Amino acid sequence: MKMQLVLLSVIVILSFTAEKCRELVGKESFTSTAKERFTFLNCFDMSYGTMACILKEIVKLYLYYIRAVHVHKVRIEATERALAENMLQGQSFNEAMKLAREVGDATARQASLQAKHITGPVISSAWDLFETLYAGGSLAEGMVRSSGTLFGAYVGGIIGESKLRWVGFLIGSQLGSWFGGRIGLMVYDVGIGVQYLLKLMNERSSFYPIAKRETYIQQD
């Protein structure tokens, strides 16, 4: 409970600081993602949006293919090991094969779930990076946002799965992806605000010697 309160306090402080930084510098200098969002309709613009959607689907199919191959390999290996162990215990071939297949299926389900924990956040993170660049944002903004999305989707999926199994994983990963992306954008805005303050301090420090020199010349 204490950890949750601390985390909530940090998020509130970060949100407040990011808003003050936007007010200090001017909102037009900050996250471009808030100005324009990549929607499904952009897939039909016959330009970068169309290419992005096609590329996204190709990447998804490739990652799903890798996951399917990995899960199949894990199932075969687990089944063979279980069959050998059952045969050594003196079971008949049919009984040993039946139990071995059950072990293989259980192992395959676990491997598939573990693969989803990786492929889902990676796809969400890469898509947020592209969306930021498509909306006119900088590479730094895209990297910070996608990093937040990656972390949020992974953590949210793990927490959701522990509560509601696969349904919780879907809900948790989606919410975590969105929430992590927003946190990343707030961190980026705070970084821009800090850079702006440092720039003002440097300009002011470089202005004072010139002002003093002009004062000495006037006195002479």
Distances (CA, A) of 47 to 41, 51, 131: 12, 6, 14
- Those residues whose C-beta lies under 8 Å from the C-beta of residue 218, and which sit 6 or more positions away, are none
What's the N-to-C CA distance of the chain in angstroms? 69
- The beta-carbon contacts of 47-56 under 8 Å, at least 24 apart in sequence, are 48/134, 49/134, 52/130, 52/134, 56/123, 56/127
* Token representation of residue 176: 């975590």
Q: Which residues of 5-28 are buried (b: 16+ CB within 10 A; e: fewer)?
A: eeeeeeeeeeeebbeebbeebeee
According to the model, what pLDDT value does residue 102 have?
92
According to the model, what pLDDT value does residue 125 have?
85
DSSP 110: H
Among candidate residues 115, 17, 134, the one with its CA nearest the CA of residue 62: 115
pLDDT 10s digits, 36-72:
556 657 777 787 778 877 877 777 777 778 878 888 8
How many Å apart are CA 25 and CA 131, to the nearest integer?
24
According to the model, what pLDDT value does residue 40 have?
59
Weakly modelled stretches of the chain, pLDDT under 50? 34-35, 211-214, 216-217
* Token representation of residue 110: 């676990």
Among candidate residues 30, 27, 29, 39, the one with its CA nearest the CA of residue 134: 39
